[in-house]
Amino acid sequence: MPRINNRIRRLRFDNNEMTQEALAERAGCTRQTIIALEQGKYVPSIELAFKIAKALGAKVEEVFQYE
């Protein structure tokens, strides 16, 4: 089954070890959502995916990959 993977954890650490709290605040979601995303338990909407990519200073396809 195809799934969407992400590199949020990796990119957080590349961004001066940004905390989940800080990323959540910048992306406009809860910390629990960031945790769920990093664990691969939740797939975000396109809007949230773009917000997270912007908060991490990356392109959306650098953060999320469809396999």
Partner 1 sequence: MSYNQNRLIRLLLLIVMSILGGWAIVSDNWIFLIPIAVVLGVVPFLLRKRIKEIIVDERVNTIARRASRLTFVVFVILAVVTGSVLIYLGKEDHDLTFNIGLTLNFAACALMLFYWAAYFYYNRKLGGKE
**String of contacts with partner 1 for each residue 25-44, x by CB under 8 A:** x--xxx-xx--x-----x-x
| Cβ-Cβ contacts under 8 Å for 27 (sequence gap 6 or more) | 34, 48, 51, 52, 54, 55
Helix (H, G, I), strand (E, B) or coil at 42: coil
What's the min distance (Å) between Cβ of 24 and partner 1?
7
Pick the closest to residue 19 from 29, 2, 4, 31 (CA basis).
31
48 vs 58 by CB, closer to partner 1: 48
Give the residues across from 6 on adjacent strands: 64
Residues in contact with partner 1, counted by CB under 8 A, come to a total of 13
Q: Does 19 bind partner 1 (CB under 8 A)?
A: no
Give contact residues for partner 1 (rule: CB under 8 A).
24-25, 28-30, 32-33, 36, 42, 44-45, 47-48
